[in-house]
């Protein structure tokens, strides 16, 4: 593209925006609202996703051992575990188990005094250090360990894993559908906004065509304008979202029971991605509305 | 330069706007197209600068078949045709300079050359001191001359003028006609559509008369 043309396109786009300030401000406001809805959704989705993933990452398993475990048994379990992405968090001897049970029972701990022999097994607590959603790893590990002599039983919350996997699946599908719908809504709103600015310059387009402008020459300033507008709308929406986020995080107590729910703002990469997407939506919106206009 | 063969043009179900028009305008001619309102003068001009396509027949302008012209060729053809509209069609939010420069900008002419050519043309039309004004600030006669300036700034082969004196008083009419003749004298093919008999009085130029879409 000739440099003369390029300068013309950018200058023309800026000029159009300045000349049609009101139309542009209305358009920008509409875009900000559309993008804000989309960005807010993304923020919630990203947090929900990372939170559920976090839960999946910390699947705990208990390996119950027979009788008073010998050092050799523990060693062979540890050796077996080396092949898996797990970390051993704790060894709980029979006595430790009883102590912790006493602690849990509190005042009623006296009930345990009647027991002649400690009936609680010793155990190893391990944590799976990887995302196990949609994974058969916990089950594999359970069967392998149970084959070792001296291991009584391996327990983990099968139910929890399955429920978790179902939740993850649902969250992803809902996210995809909802996000897609919001994306389409934003695109639709923006297409119509751009159409407003095009209609406000109908005469100009006609005159340009009559003095011999190619379709491309007429269209490109609108595309540049749409992209700039999309970018501005996207930026303002992100700023508003960030301010709302800060307000919520500082003013509202989000702790639920013992665990406080930490909402993280979008990462810089995500912000860049959203800004790029806003520009692209602006561009596509212009293309679509121009297509309709030039067919008339 | 311009050749029409049995051109028909109809808009929907109404009476056709043009019926069986065949004519040839050689390079460098000055022609009047005349007839009462609704005779088809504007439609004829629109066909020549490709704002309308003939319903049937053939039209050749500068060797291009207008029935089969593509978007790219269309714009390059229009750059060789200057048009002066009855309602001027100036952009009210652009200065006089920018309105005239438009014809060159669409061709991608460098801005230094645009500046030179626009100054030259405005000076030629006596508008040198008006280039920073906006069209609504100017009189009808001045707006008319800006429209002419925009049409001739890129030295077109053909100049079409649709009722160029329709909104002007006698003096300005004579001035405008003198200007068009001067442009013609520089080698441009000129076609002027008018309903004014006054304008045609005593002219030795060819007159194409239209009545209800037919040549008479």
Q: How large is the ipTM?
A: 0.86
Predicted confidence at residue A295, as pLDDT, reads: 54
pLDDT score at A159:
65
For residue A257, name the pLDDT band (cuts at 50, 70, 90): very low
Contact B106 A4 (CB under 8 A): no
Q: Is 70 exceeded by the pLDDT of residue A188?
A: yes
Q: What percent of chain B has a predicted confidence (pLDDT) above 70?
A: 100
Looking at residue A34, what is its pLDDT?
84
Confidence of residue A132 (pLDDT cuts 50, 70, 90): low
Give yes or no for B136 touching A (CB within 8 A).
Answer: no
Give the closest-approach CA distance of B26 to chain A in angstroms.
Answer: 22
Percentage of residues of chain B with pLDDT beyond 90: 57
Look at residue B10 and tell me whether its pLDDT is greater than 80: yes
Note the pLDDT of residue A147: 83
Structure confidence by residue, pLDDT tens digits, B179-210: 899 999 999 999 999 988 888 887 888 999 99
Count how many residues are written for chain A: 296
Averaged pLDDT of chain A: 80
Query: pLDDT value at position A62?
Result: 83
Interface contact B75-A206, CB threshold 8 A:
no
Judged by CB atoms closer than 8 Å, whether chains meet at A210 and B71 is answered as: no
pLDDT for the residue A258: 44
Flag whether pLDDT at B86 surpasses 80.
Answer: yes
Average pLDDT over residues B54-76: 88
More confident residue, A167 or B86: B86
CB pair distance less than 8 Å for B89 and A217: no
B117 touches chain A (CB under 8 A): no
Q: What is the pLDDT of residue A249?
A: 82
Query: Is A206 in CB contact (< 8 Å) with chain B?
Result: yes
- In the sheet that holds A123-128, the strands lie side by side as A86-92, A123-128, A59-65, A151-155
Q: Do B79 and A210 touch (CB under 8 A)?
A: no
pLDDT tens profile A75-87: 888 888 887 777 7
CA nearest to A231, candidates A265, A273, A262: A273
Q: What is the pLDDT of residue B20?
A: 92
> pLDDT at position A253, please?
63
Q: What is the mean pLDDT of residues A193-219?
A: 84
Quote the pLDDT of residue A184: 86
Nearest to residue B108, comparing CAs of A27, A219, A5? Answer: A5
Cβ atoms of residues B131 and B97 within 8 Å: yes
Which residues in B lie closer than 8 A to residue A7 (C-beta atoms)? 111
Among A106-120, A158-172, A184-198, B176-190, the range with the most confident prediction by mean pLDDT is B176-190
- Min Cα distance B102 → chain A (Å) is 7
Assess whether pLDDT exceeds 60 at residue A46. yes
Nearest to B71 among A204, A211, A215 (CB): A215
Q: Who has greater pLDDT, B52 or A51?
A: B52
Residue A189, pLDDT > 60, answer yes
- Calculate helix-pair angle for A215-251, A3-19, nearest 10 degrees: 60
* Residue predicted with more confidence, A220 or A104: A220
Statement: residue A259 has pLDDT above 60: no
pLDDT over threshold 70, residue B172:
yes
Categorize the per-residue pLDDT at A152 as very low, low, confident or very high, splitting at 50, 70 and 90.
confident
Contact B111/A at CB under 8 A: yes
Residue B149 is predicted with a pLDDT of 94
Look at B111 and A4 and tell me if their CB atoms are within 8 Å.
Answer: yes
0.95 exceeded by pTM = no
Report pLDDT for B95: 93
Q: Which of A208, A210, A221 to mutate to test the interface with B (most CBs of B within 10 A)?
A: A210
Bridge partners (DSSP) listed for residue B23: B4
Percent of chain A with pLDDT over 90: 7
More confident of the two residues A138 and B114: B114
Cβ of A210 within 8 Å of Cβ of B49? The answer is yes
Give the pairing type, strands A259-260 and B81-84. Answer: unpaired
Task: Give the model's pLDDT for residue A205.
Answer: 86
Q: How far is CA B118 from CA A114, B33, B158, B193, in A?
A: 110, 29, 19, 26
pLDDT for the residue A296: 41
Asked if pLDDT for residue A60 goes beyond 80, the answer is no
Nearest residue of A to residue B103, measured between CA atoms: A211
pLDDT tops 80 at residue A246: yes
The answer, yes or no, to whether residue A256 has pLDDT greater than 60, is no
Residue B21 banded pLDDT, cuts 50, 70, 90? very high
């Amino acid at each position: 593209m000739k440099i003369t043309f390029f300068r013309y396109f950018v200058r023309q786009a800026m000029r159009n925006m300045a000349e049609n300030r009101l139309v542009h401000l209305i358009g920008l406001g509409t875009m900000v609202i559309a993008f804000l809805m989309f960005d807010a959704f993304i923020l919630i989705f990203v947090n929900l996703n990372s939170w559920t993933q976090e839960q999946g990452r910390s699947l705990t398993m208990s390996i119950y051992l027979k009788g008073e475990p010998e050092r050799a048994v523990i060693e062979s379990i540890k050796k077996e575990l080396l092949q898996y992405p797990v970390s051993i968090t704790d060894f709980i001897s029979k006595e430790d188990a009883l102590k912790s049970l006493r602690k849990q029972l509190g005042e009623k701990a006296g009930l345990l005094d009647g027991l002649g022999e400690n009936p609680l097994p010793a155990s190893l607590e391990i944590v799976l250090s990887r995302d196990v959603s949609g994974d058969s790893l916990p089950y594999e590990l359970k069967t392998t360990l149970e084959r070792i002599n001296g291991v009584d039983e391996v327990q983990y919350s099968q139910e929890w894993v399955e429920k978790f996997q179902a939740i993850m699946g649902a969250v992803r599908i809902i996210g995809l559908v909802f996000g897609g719908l919001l994306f389409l809504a934003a695109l639709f709103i923006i297409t119509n906004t751009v159409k407003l600015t095009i209609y406000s310059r109908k005469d100009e387009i006609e005159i340009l065509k009559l003095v011999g402008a190619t379709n491309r020459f007429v269209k490109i300033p609108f595309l540049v304008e749409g992209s700039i507008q999309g970018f501005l709308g996207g930026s303002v929406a992100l700023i508003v979202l960030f301010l709302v986020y800060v307000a919520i995080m500082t003013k509202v107590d989000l702790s639920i029971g013992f665990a406080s729910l930490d909402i993280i703002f979008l990462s810089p990469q995500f912000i860049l991605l959203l800004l790029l997407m806003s520009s692209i939506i602006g561009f596509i919106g212009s293309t679509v509305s121009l297509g309709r206009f030039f067919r008339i | 330069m311009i050749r029409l063969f049995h051109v028909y043009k109809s808009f929907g179900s109404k009476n056709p706007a043009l019926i069986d028009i065949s004519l040839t305008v050689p390079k460098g001619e000055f022609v009047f197209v005349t007839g009462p309102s609704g005779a088809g003068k504007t439609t004829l001009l629109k066909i020549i600068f490709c704002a309308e396509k003939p319903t049937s027949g053939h039209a050749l302008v500068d060797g291009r078949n207008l029935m089969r012209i593509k978007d790219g060729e269309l714009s390059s053809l229009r750059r060789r045709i200057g048009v002066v509209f009855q309602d001027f069609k100036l952009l009210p939010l652009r200065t006089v300079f920018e309105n005239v420069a438009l014809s060159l900008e669409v061709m991608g002419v460098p801005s230094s050359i645009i500046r030179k050519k626009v100054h030259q043309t405005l000076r030629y039309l006596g508008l040198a001191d008006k280039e920073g004004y906006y069209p609504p600030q100017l009189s009808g006669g001045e707006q008319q001359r800006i429209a002419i300036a925009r049409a001739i700034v890129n030295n077109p082969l053909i100049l079409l003028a649709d009722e160029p004196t329709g909104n002007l008083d006698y003096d300005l009419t004579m001035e405008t006609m003198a200007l068009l003749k001067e442009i013609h004298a520089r080698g441009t093919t000129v076609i002027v559509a008018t309903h004014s008999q006054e304008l045609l009085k005593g002219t030795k130029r060819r007159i194409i008369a239209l009545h209800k879409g037919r040549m008479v």
